[in-house]
Chains A and B, each alone.
Chain A
Amino acid sequence: MRFGVVVFPGSNCDYDCFYVLRDVLGQEVVFLWHGDEDLRGCDCVVLPGGFSYGDYLRTGAIARFSPIMSSVRDFALSGGVVLGICNGFQILLESGLLPGALLPNRSGRFICRYVFLRVERTDTPFTLLFAPGEVIRIPIAHYQGNFFLPQDELSELERRGQVLFRYCGPSGEVEEAWNPNGSANNIAGIVSLNLCVMGMMPHPERASEELLGSTDGRRIFLSVVKWLEEKRHARCGA
């Protein structure tokens, strides 16, 4: 499978994603420059973490207007798989591909540590390899990860089952005590209605090797690989 990692000015997790995909998982992967429009035949586009455009104006607000993003938008709307991590999630929200906004953390501090996440559904390209309700460990590293939606839209998001990951305790307790940043309903990651666009604040690329303390993040990328392979087989078989 061919992955594309978008490089914006200020991206700083682009090489981590590239490394995990190529060296840890043995996938084909290319960098996609923000100023280009060509997605180079990628099966999945990754918007990595960092501080695109210096977080000027609002996080993700300027990156959204990069030439590459109009191609990513078309790709996403036609069912292409797009994964936004941290700043990538912020860009997806600003571009309207996912609903909501990310406010500064409730504590007013940058938080960099491992958190527990509960996997809310497993029928998406990103979570095929997890068990329903499984608790995984992946680190967060952000100042602005406090997920916000007005109450009525939040209820709608929940009703449609678009919440993919929630901050929780080691046994899956979704409680305020385990909410690191003040996110509404402990939301750590959400998925689009067509299930192909996912944004999450935690960094799966930082939890993809035993040496780094967790390999739970790896399974998110591997889920995408499996999902794409199954899709390809289904197409060839038809």
Chain B
Amino acid sequence: MKYCGKVVVTLKPGVFDPQGMTIRNALHALSYREVEEVETGKYFRVTLEARTREEAERRVREMCDQLLANPVIEQYTFEVQEIR
């Protein structure tokens, strides 16, 4: 079976995010005064072969722990979908 893992990596709360701040300031300059905070992150789409959905989830979690996110400063969420 083919699966697609969609991973979003963000900075942990309290970790300095100058890009987010700069983007927030730019939105203010465009007069989106209601914007309070902008957080930046990374998005990965991983297509993989696995026997079951559980196996695909386990593999994607391992990829996040080992490479896609740095546990010192980042956290991640993901969802796995079957590709038909």
Interface residues of A (CB under 8 A from B): 57-58, 61, 65, 93-94, 99-101, 103-108, 146, 148-150, 182
B18 at the interface (CB under 8 A from A): yes
Q: Tell me the complex Cα distance, A99–B19, Å.
A: 24
Q: Tell me the complex Cα distance, A99–B15, Å.
A: 16
Q: Tell me the complex Cα distance, A211–B82, Å.
A: 63
Inside 8 A of B68's CB, which chain A residues have their CB? 57
Q: Tell me the complex Cα distance, A94–B66, Å.
A: 10
Contact (Cβ within 8 A) A61 B67: yes
Contact (Cβ within 8 A) B72 A149: yes
Contact (Cβ within 8 A) A104 B18: yes
Q: Specify which of B16, B67, B70, B72 is in contact with A104 (CB 8 Å cutoff).
A: B16
Contact (Cβ within 8 A) B70 A94: yes
Contact (Cβ within 8 A) B16 A101: no
Inside 8 A of A108's CB, which chain B residues have their CB? 18-19, 21-22
Inside 8 A of B73's CB, which chain A residues have their CB? 101, 103, 148
Residue among B15, B18, B70 with most chain A CB within 10 A: B18
**Count of chain B residues with a beta carbon within 8 Å of a chain A beta carbon:** 11
Interface residues of B (CB under 8 A from A): 15-16, 18-19, 21-22, 67-68, 70, 72-73
Contact (Cβ within 8 A) A148 B15: yes
- The smallest beta-carbon distance between A61 and chain B, in angstroms, is 7
Residue of B with least CB distance to A60: B70
Q: Tell me the complex Cα distance, A149–B73, Å.
A: 8
Residue of A with least CB distance to B11: A103
- The smallest beta-carbon distance between B38 and chain A, in angstroms, is 13
Q: Known interface pairs A57-B67, A61-B67. Does A101 touch B18 (Cβ–Cβ under 8 Å)?
A: no
Q: Known interface pairs A57-B67, A104-B16. Does A148 touch B72 (Cβ–Cβ under 8 Å)?
A: yes
- The smallest beta-carbon distance between A27 and chain B, in angstroms, is 34
Inside 8 A of A65's CB, which chain B residues have their CB? 67
Q: Tell me the complex Cα distance, A105–B19, Å.
A: 11
A–B pairs, 15, beta carbons within 8 Å: A58-B70, A61-B67, A65-B67, A93-B72, A94-B70, A99-B72, A101-B73, A103-B16, A104-B16, A106-B16, A106-B18, A108-B18, A146-B16, A148-B16, A148-B72
- The smallest beta-carbon distance between B59 and chain A, in angstroms, is 17
Inside 8 A of B70's CB, which chain A residues have their CB? 58, 61, 94, 101
Inside 8 A of B15's CB, which chain A residues have their CB? 103, 148
Q: Tell me the complex Cα distance, A100–B15, Å.
A: 12
- The smallest beta-carbon distance between B42 and chain A, in angstroms, is 8
